[in-house]
Chains A and B, each alone.
Chain A
Amino acid sequence: MTRRHLIHGLLFISPWIVGVCLFIAYPIGASFYYSFTDTSMLGGGSWVGWQNYVTLLTADPLFWKSLGNTMFFAALSVPLTLLLSLSLAVLLSARLREVNLYRTILYLPTLMPAVAVALLWLWMLNPDNGFVNAAIGALGLPTPGWLTDPSWAKPALVLVSLWTIGSPLVIYLAGIKDIPEEVMEAAALDGASRWQRVRHITVPLVTPMTFFNLIIGLIGAFQYFTIPFIMTVNSPTGLGSPLDSTLFYSVYLYSKAFRDVQAGYASAMAWLLFLIIMGLTVALFRSSARWVYYAGHTERA
């Protein structure tokens, strides 16, 4: 009986097994191997041991620059995204009749193709003629140089990333709707204000959503490619301008692999990225026992 189930089970998941072997397991192993060679994308290369890693960590300033840029972006974009999407979700959870309209509007930008978003914001962030500075200027505030100013280029990208918070927003909204009415009512009857209820009931009870959005957001931030690639590549100094301030890790990796055709070096870069993401994910999972509250369910997923 069990044996039959085993055979059938494996048969049904066989497409995935083949896929994992071909498109995941093999490339993971191969890239690990390549990272110790100086393989070129055009073929050929020999064993160089730790050379790639040593060069990356000690002799490649762009490695550190791009890593720093990516981490800066993640450190700014992810928390702001969580804050904004949770705040909007709390507002949306108020029982207004036209809530679906608001939700649709707030979700719409997520559907724009990344290339379109990049083009749109390129002109929007133009320091002299763009919408953003027109709006800021109208409020009487100083207008930054955005993509032309190395100190403002990354914040510009953070701003763009805040436009597409539809997914975490919807997830938070679902989490808020899940909170049992009795809990909120008991609190209200005990005299808790709306704000107190949000702070002490809503926020703790949606920590599973926060955890999910946090992990997904971090992984996405570290792999951020299309928008930084397009928004800076068309400037005269090339990728990551101005002054490499927007050179993201994945963009640098791409340029090493497909422009300098250094497959081995790029593979080493990829593995360092993997290690960093894994480290962060494991740390977050470990810490989650302390701050994530699963109401009622104690079984693991």
Chain B
Amino acid sequence: MSLSSPSRNPESTASRRRGSGDAGSVDLARGAAARYDARHRGWWLPWLVRTLLILACLAFLSPFAWLFSTSLKPTDQLSIMPPIWIPHPIEWYHWSDALTVFPYGQYFANTLIVTGLVILGVLVSSAPVAYGFAKIPWPGRDVVFLLVLATMMVPYQVMMVPLYLVFSTLGWVGGFKPLTVPAFFGDAFSIFLLRQFFLGIPHELSEAARIDGASELRIFLRIIVPLSKPALATVALFAFVATWQDFLAPLIYLQDTSKFTLSVALYTLLGEHGTQWQLLYAASFLVAVPPLLVFVLAQRTFIQGITMSGLKG
């Protein structure tokens, strides 16, 4: 009855496990399931999973392949069916055209400014607010926090019209302020994420500092913030991606074409060059490059952040 070579009979393995109730036998049973599966469920199972995943990945990647292929095609090859994947000759100039047909550099800069300001605003405002909800024990705190969560459920359309009218009265319509100023007053999702993270930092740290006479501000800046770099990075990343691709807000607030962000500019490109798909595709990808690049470089932080928001939500 050597446990290193489990018998073929699943019953005896199970009863062996049930029979001894101490932790040691659980350790020995660990891996028994994998071995059982390997013997009874077929060596082909991992390969089946692999095949399905590869098929799924190919399906998800195919639009990108289509994008690149189309962006290099001569116009007379665009409508040939079945599609030509590698065009002959390859027209690279659509990509350089995409940068010159509209002031890409200007729009890139605009988008960068708006996005940068939003990231700054979100970090600077949401972190202290999250600290207030996580680390300071004040009466009514958790009830008010429910209010933060409730505000996330209000559809943007409800606030859209009065907000526009307010900004219009202030004379801010046409500029970047309606897009950036609200970020400096806290963002519910970021507050939520940071609050969950701060709650995970042991209370003893802030309590000890409090007993030593440190002010809340000091505790926040000197203890909590340095320990929260991953969470702050996550908040910055999410804010970056969300703002970079935002369409509705720039659509309604920006009127002067010189102030357009890339999303709105891409949309106007559709109106002006409706059938030049090579151009539109090249331009689309150029607009998508920054978020894609940021993700590839900071993958783990991204995935951790989504996990954090979903698990505690």
User: Which residues of the partner chain B approach A109 to less than 8 Å between Cβ atoms?
Assistant: 60, 63
> Contacting A34 at CB < 8 Å: which of B132, B162, B302?
B162
Q: A5-B136, A223-B157 are in contact. Are A120 and B67 (CB under 8 A)?
A: yes
Secondary structure at the A interface, as helix, strand, loop or mixed, is: helix
Tell me the bound Cα distance from A104 to B60 in angstroms. Answer: 11
Q: A12-B136, A109-B60 are in contact. Are A114 and B280 (CB under 8 A)?
A: no
Identify the closest chain A residue to B278 (Cβ).
A123
> Contacting B263 at CB < 8 Å: which of A91, A113, A185?
A113
User: Which residues of the partner chain B approach A124 to less than 8 Å between Cβ atoms?
Assistant: 63, 66
Does A274 contact B155, Cβ atoms closer than 8 Å?
yes
Does B271 contact A281, Cβ atoms closer than 8 Å?
no
User: Which residues of the partner chain B approach A114 to less than 8 Å between Cβ atoms?
Assistant: 245, 247, 263
Does B49 contact A188, Cβ atoms closer than 8 Å?
no
Task: Of the listed stretches A47-55, A72-80, A145-153, A174-182, name the one at the interface; the rest are far from the partner chain.
Answer: A174-182
Identify the closest chain A residue to B244 (Cβ).
A113
The residues in A between 192 and 207 inclusive whose CB is less than 8 angstroms from any CB of B are: 193-194
User: Which residues of the partner chain A approach B49 to less than 8 Å between Cβ atoms?
Assistant: 91, 94, 96
User: Which residues of the partner chain A approach B313 to less than 8 Å between Cβ atoms?
Assistant: 212, 301
Tell me the bound Cα distance from A27 to B129 in angstroms. Answer: 22
Interface size class of B (residues with CB under 8 A): 35 or more
Does B295 contact A111, Cβ atoms closer than 8 Å?
yes
Does A119 contact B266, Cβ atoms closer than 8 Å?
yes
Tell me the bound Cα distance from A138 to B82 in angstroms. Answer: 8
Min CB gap B115→A, angstroms:
12
Identify the closest chain A residue to B191 (Cβ).
A16
Task: Of the listed stretches B86-94, B101-109, B181-189, name the one at the interface; the rest are far from the partner chain.
Answer: B181-189
Contact pattern, A 96-129, Cβ under 8 Å of B = 1, otherwise 0: 1000101111111101111110011101100011
Min CB gap B267→A, angstroms:
6
The residues in B between 48 and 104 inclusive whose CB is less than 8 angstroms from any CB of A are: 49-50, 52-54, 56-57, 60-64, 66-67, 70, 78-83
User: Which residues of the partner chain B approach A175 to less than 8 Å between Cβ atoms?
Assistant: 310-311
User: Which residues of the partner chain B approach A278 to less than 8 Å between Cβ atoms?
Assistant: 153
Contact pattern, B 262-306, Cβ under 8 Å of A = 1, otherwise 0: 111011001100100100110011011001100110010011001
Min CB gap B261→A, angstroms:
10
Chain A: interface residue total (CB-CB under 8 A): 102
User: Which residues of the partner chain A approach B284 to less than 8 Å between Cβ atoms?
Assistant: 113, 115-116, 119-120
User: Which residues of the partner chain A approach B277 to less than 8 Å between Cβ atoms?
Assistant: 123
> Contacting A28 at CB < 8 Å: which of B158, B247, B266?
B158
> Contacting B306 at CB < 8 Å: which of A105, A171, A193?
A171
User: Which residues of the partner chain B approach A270 to less than 8 Å between Cβ atoms?
Assistant: 155, 157-158, 160-161
Does A194 contact B41, Cβ atoms closer than 8 Å?
yes
Q: A170-B306, A263-B165 are in contact. Are A16 and B129 (CB under 8 A)?
A: yes
A-B pairs with lowest CB-CB distance, top 4: A19-B185, A12-B132, A9-B138, A113-B245
Q: List 23 A-B contacts (CB under 8 A).
A: A13-B144, A27-B158, A41-B161, A94-B46, A102-B54, A112-B292, A113-B288, A113-B291, A123-B281, A129-B80, A129-B81, A134-B82, A137-B81, A175-B310, A188-B36, A194-B45, A230-B247, A230-B270, A234-B270, A234-B271, A254-B248, A267-B162, A270-B157
Residues of A within 8 A of B (CB): 2, 5-6, 8-13, 15-16, 18-20, 22-24, 26-28, 30-31, 34, 41, 88, 91-92, 94, 96, 100, 102-109, 111-116, 119-121, 123-124, 128-129, 131, 134-135, 137-138, 163, 167, 170-171, 174-175, 178, 181-182, 184-186, 188-191, 193-194, 209, 212-213, 219, 222-223, 225-226, 229-230, 234, 250, 253-254, 257-258, 263, 266-267, 269-271, 273-274, 277-278, 281, 301
Name 14 extra pairs, CB < 8 A, besides A15-B125, A115-B264, A119-B280. A2-B137, A2-B139, A5-B138, A8-B216, A10-B132, A13-B144, A94-B49, A116-B245, A119-B270, A131-B66, A223-B156, A225-B248, A230-B267, A270-B155
